[in-house]
Structure formats: C-alpha cells, structure tokens
Amino acid sequence: MVNNSFNTLKDFRISDAKKGKFHSLPALEKKLGVSIARLPISIRIVLESVLRNCDGKKITEQHVRQLANWKPVDERVDEIPFVVARVVLQDFTGVPLLADLAAMRNVATKMGMNPKNIEPLVPVDLVVDHSVQIDHFREKNALDLNMKIEFTRNNERYQFMKWGMQAFDTFGVVPPGFGIVHQVNLEYLARGVHKLTDAKKGDIYYPDTLVGTDSHTTMINGIGVVGWCVGGIEAEAGMLGQPVYFLTPDVVGVNLTGQLREGLTATDLVLTITEMLRKEKVVGKFVEFFGEGTASLSLTDRATIANMAPEYGATMGFFPVDQATIDYFKGTGRSKAEINAFEAYFKAQKLFGIPQSGDIDYTHVVALDLGSIVPSLAGPKRPQDRIEIGNVKTNFAELFAKPAAEDGFNKKPEDLYAVFETSDGVKVRNGDILIAAITSCTNTSNPSVMLAAGLLAKKAVEAGLKVAPHIKTSLAPGSRVVTEYLKAAGLLPYLEKLGFGVMAYGCTTCIGNAGDLTPAMNEAISKNDIVASAVLSGNRNFEARIHPNIRSNFLASPPLVVAYAIAGSMTRDLMTEPVGQARAARTSIWATFGPPARKSAS
C-alpha cells in the first residue's frame, strides 16, 4: 500500500519507453505553498522520506509540514522520523545485530511461528573489513599470510556471518579481502535510487539513504546519498523498518571557489576543511558543499572530504548529485537502466546540479578558495591540527619540549636528536618514523593520490632511494580496484620495492591494526621514552591509537607517506632538505611534481 496523503505521487519519464512514479517535492511545494526549492538539498532528501512514509501513525502529516517549513535559523526542538532505504554495517558492530536477528528467530520458533518471518525490512549489507592486521609486511606473500591469520583469529565469527548471509534474504555479507566498507559502499552497494513495485501504482522510485555503524559512513555523502553513523540500537531499528529519529539540524553551507593548484591533493584540501570547520563548531549539524569550486572537484575528491565529516564534527558532509556523480556511476559498473533512473529521478525532483551562491537558504555560510590550499599534514595527536609541510620540522621540535597540557611531549629540548640503539643494533631517534602506512578509505578511494604515490615511488626507485628496513610499511587499499589500476599503470612494482606492497584489504593501521613492532624496538622505546612517529594516509591519529608505543602520529596524503618513509624522520624538512641521498644526488620530493608555491591558506 502506497501512502499518498498530500496527493504528490506523480509520473516522471525515465526514457522514451519507460515511466516511473515518485513522491514529488515540487508537487508538495505547490500543495503547502512553501518554498521547498530553497531548502538545502540534504534536507529535501530527508523530507522525501518523511513524505513517502507518512502513514498517520509513526509519521504524520504534521511531521511533513514541520520539515517542509524548515527555517535556516530557528529553535531546534522537533524530531524528524527518518526511514532509511538501507543499512550498512562493518563486522565489529554488525555481528551483535546479526545475533539479535538470530535470537528473534529462536523466539519465533519457540512460539510456533515460522522463523523466516523474522527478516530485515530494508536491505542490510555487512562488510568484513575491521579484522585484518598487518602481522606480515615486506614479504612477497604478506597479503595471503595476513589473511590466513585473520581467518584463524576470527573463524567462529566468520562462520556465524556466513550463516546469516544464507539464512536471511535481505542480509548480505561482503567477505574479507575485498575492501573497506565505505569504498565498497561507494563503488558497489550504493544504487542511487531504489524501486518499489506496487501492485496498483506500478514502479515507485525513491533516493538511496542509509545509516551505518561505522563513524565514516559519511563517505557515501560524496555521491549525494544522505547517511551517517548511528549506534547499534538505531541501526537495528532501521533494519526493522522503524524510523531513525534525530533533531532537526542546522545546515552549514560551504562555498568552495576557485580550483586546486597543480600538485595539490584532496588530502591537503580535506585537512584544511577539517581545521576550518572545527573552528566553525559544526558538531551535530549538516554540512553541505556548493559553488563553482565544488563543481570542479572530482567525485573521489568529494568522497574524501565527505569521509572526514566525523573529524570536522558534522553529522554529514554532503555533496549534491551532478554530472560528475553520473559519470562515476557509469565508471563503476552500474547498469544503464539504473543510471537512467538515477539521473531522471533527481532531475524530476529538481535536485540535480551543484547549487551556486544565493540559490539555497543555509543556516550559515563559510567560504574557502581552493587556490589557497597548500601541502599539509595533520598531527601529531589530532586530525584538526593541520601543519603546512614546511613547518612540520619546527612544529615537532616545539611540541617535543612543550608540556602535555599544551599537547606537547614534555621532553628536554637537548634530547631531541639523541641517538639510541635497540638490542638488535637498530639506531633510533626521537621523531623517527617506525610505521608508514597507506591505509584507510579516506585516501585509498582516490585514484589521483594513489597514482601520485606510485609515481613518487617510481622516481625514488629510479634514483636508488630506499626505505629503512626497520620502518613498518604497508599498503591496504580500500578495494581491489586500487590494486588493478596500480598494476595497469605499471606502478605497483615500484611501491613494492619501497615496502608498500598490498598487505591487506581493510582498515588496518587507522583503527589500530598496524600490528606490533619488533620486541627490541618496543623495549628501546619504553626504556628510553622515545617519541617515535607514524605517518599514515588515514583519518584518525590520536596518541597511541596507531600503536601503544608510538605517541606522534601524522595524517598525510599517500605520496607524502612514501616521501616521509624514505626520509625516515619527522625532523626532516621536505621543503628545504632532500628526501634522501642516492648516487651522490640530492633527491627532492618535488622532483615528481615540481615545487608548489608557498602560499598562506589564510
């Protein structure tokens, strides 16, 4: 039975030969006499769900009217009952929800009911990506060895997941070794629009929306999908067709202008945005990107920015659907029928295209010129603490001596360059890099930075540069697609020669699954209170998160991970000092791209 309280169920044309039906927001605008067209696009997509699911019980006409009358600045006291199209889970948080479904089936059996009646009412996908650890590295068969250990450690859990996949029609499992939940979600699981076939009304289309149980579920916002992270109880409610309730949000608009300069990466951009939006205090708010600069960004750059919403504190970092979204769907294997329906639906809803300045009424607008972005890292303890690359060495030296109350390490300045030796003869200093990881969906979703890392590795290998053998290097791509295009470009062998072979498909280092250092290194760090470092292309760098004995952690783009691994220390200034010495030549990181102009982001 299709709800149609406001008489908004209308036809739209998908192709010359095909029509569909949808709950029309333009029709609702005429019905209520309000300016829905000036609402933020993210709010309009939520409004469509409220309208479509209005049944007079869980969701009433009053809910529809309240959200349709959203004001940019208002007291936020109303809760929105949001029914999502699907749910996505990662393995650690997904197993308890599967256990609940199994328990419900047991109860149904005891009550004499058919246990098959217990079934998620929306599609649920669980992606196994949080269980693999970098135990083996710099070995030819490291990927296979790490996966074998992963299966041994998680055998009982994996058997249970396999049962769940077979027992439930609407519960799917993406097995280990395929990729990170968010990139799999982006490349494969997201449908753009869903279709409900009603016996009387025909095919009714509605937009893809979701909740997930991983904080970086927001990566999907990069393709115009409204979704964010929730707790297990809320996810379970969504699985069972119940609304997810949240307070009507403020929506902060981010007007991106200009274009990124050559040699700058999405990582440099997202670290700048994280720093900026942290200062804007966007916690609990929707963030929506618009403007000419937004339109100039590739889809994968948008996904990188959306992924970091938890780091800048927003509920979402949303990008509207435009031609770049359609092109991404075409390039990732979606069917022609799906793409046609997706594009036609968003155009019929007047939701297609990147808004320009003045088109939308936002709670507040902040602006950023993409041309002002400079090469950056973030750290050593928080993702919002951005550092221009030319200031990393000085910053580390200052924090080394600062008290802990000022986020420092409370060490004597004269100890900064002290040399220690492990019991197996490895010399180590404060600031030395012991883990260098290209990891996490944040950056490995983005071909531009992954290919840049490969190009830098190629230049380095050709110059005879190497990474010190005691540095734990790893490459954990977000999906197998990354491996394929690195192979096709002929760049994977160069990454492998520097130690960045594919060692896992999973979150690994970013969630603390970096694996251990050698016992001798652990002993030296503990005995001498060494402030060692890690550099990773992830999104979380809190002290001791990457490894309990590594206190200084820096977020960086994949090419900078490679560069710092070669340099070996955070006390090296990559703007003025060579990355390394090879064949009597001084090799600079900028030999690959040319030196970027040093320009203040302010």
Report the mean per-residue pLDDT for the chain.
93
User: Cβ(545)–Cβ(410) under 8 Å?
Assistant: no
User: Mean per-residue pLDDT for 19-40?
Assistant: 97
The domains of the chain are located at 250-319+354-374, 376-591
Angstrom distances, CA of residue 305 to CA of 216, 233, 311, 409: 11, 27, 10, 30
Residue 3 is predicted with a pLDDT of: 73
Contacts of 98 (CB under 8 A, 6+ apart): 126, 160, 161, 164, 171
Give me the pLDDT at residue 92, please: 87
Token reading at 321: 């659907």
For residue 443, the tally of other CB atoms under 10 A from its CB is 32
Contact assessment for residue 287 and residue 316, using Cβ atoms and an 8 Å cutoff: yes
The answer to whether 19 and 13 are in contact (CB under 8 A) is yes
- Looking at residue 600, what is its pLDDT? 42
Residues 405-433 have a mean pLDDT of 95
pLDDT at 581: 80
Return the higher-pLDDT residue of 445 and 511: 511
**C-alpha–C-alpha distance, residues 174 and 181, integer Å:** 9
- The mean pLDDT value for 200-226 works out to 95
Of the chain, the percentage scoring pLDDT greater than 90 comes to 88
Assess whether pLDDT exceeds 60 at residue 597.
no
Token pair of 511 as six digits:
């969630």
E-only strand ranges, 265-408: 286-290, 316-318, 364-369, 376-378, 386-388
Is residue 125 over pLDDT 70? Answer: yes
Between 16 and 524, whose confidence is greater? 524
Any bridge partners for residue 551, and if so which? none
**pLDDT at residue 596 in the model:** 54
Q: Higher model confidence: residue 219 or residue 441?
A: 219
pLDDT for res 54: 96
Q: What is the arithmetic mean of pLDDT over 295-311?
A: 96
Q: Given its phi and psi angles, is residue 600 left (phi above 0), alpha (psi -120 to 50 degrees) or beta? A: beta
For the cut 70, the answer to whether the pLDDT of residue 461 exceeds it is: yes
2 pLDDT above the threshold of 80: no
Helix (H) or strand (E) holding 151: helix 142-153
Cis peptide before 310 (omega within 30 of 0): no
Q: What is the CB neighbour count within 10 angstroms for residue 586?
A: 12
Q: What is the DSSP letter of 187?
A: I
- For the cut 70, the answer to whether the pLDDT of residue 602 exceeds it is no
In 3D space, the residue among 433, 394, 471 whose CA is nearest the CA of residue 554 turns out to be 433
Residues near 270 by Cβ (< 8 Å), separated by ≥ 6?
Answer: 304, 305, 307, 308, 442
User: Which residue, 509, 462, 524, 518, is CA-closest to 490?
Assistant: 462
With bands split at pLDDT 50, 70 and 90, how would you rate the model's confidence at 509?
confident
Once rounded to an integer, what is the mean pLDDT over residues 245-270? 95
Alpha carbon distances (Å) from 320 to 43, 224, 332, 340, 398: 11, 5, 18, 17, 42
Q: What is the CA radius of gyration of the chain?
A: 25
Rounded mean pLDDT of 79-102?
Answer: 94
Say what the pTM is.
Answer: 0.93
Instruction: Enter the CATH code of domain 250-319+354-374.
Output: 3.40.1060.10
Q: What is the mean pLDDT of residues 149-160?
A: 95
Q: What is the pLDDT of residue 505?
A: 93
When pLDDT is cut at 50, 70 and 90, the band that residue 419 belongs to is: very high
CATH topology (fold) of 376-591: Aconitase; domain 3 (3.30.499)
Band (pLDDT 50/70/90 cuts) for residue 587 is low
Q: Give the model's pLDDT for residue 599.
A: 47
Q: Is the pLDDT of residue 30 over 80?
A: yes
Which pLDDT score is estimated for 591?
A: 55
DSSP 436: E
Six-digit token pair at 559?
């090419």
Q: Do domains 250-319+354-374 and 376-591 have the same CATH topology?
A: no
Among candidates 24, 16, 6, which has minimal Cα distance to 204?
Answer: 24
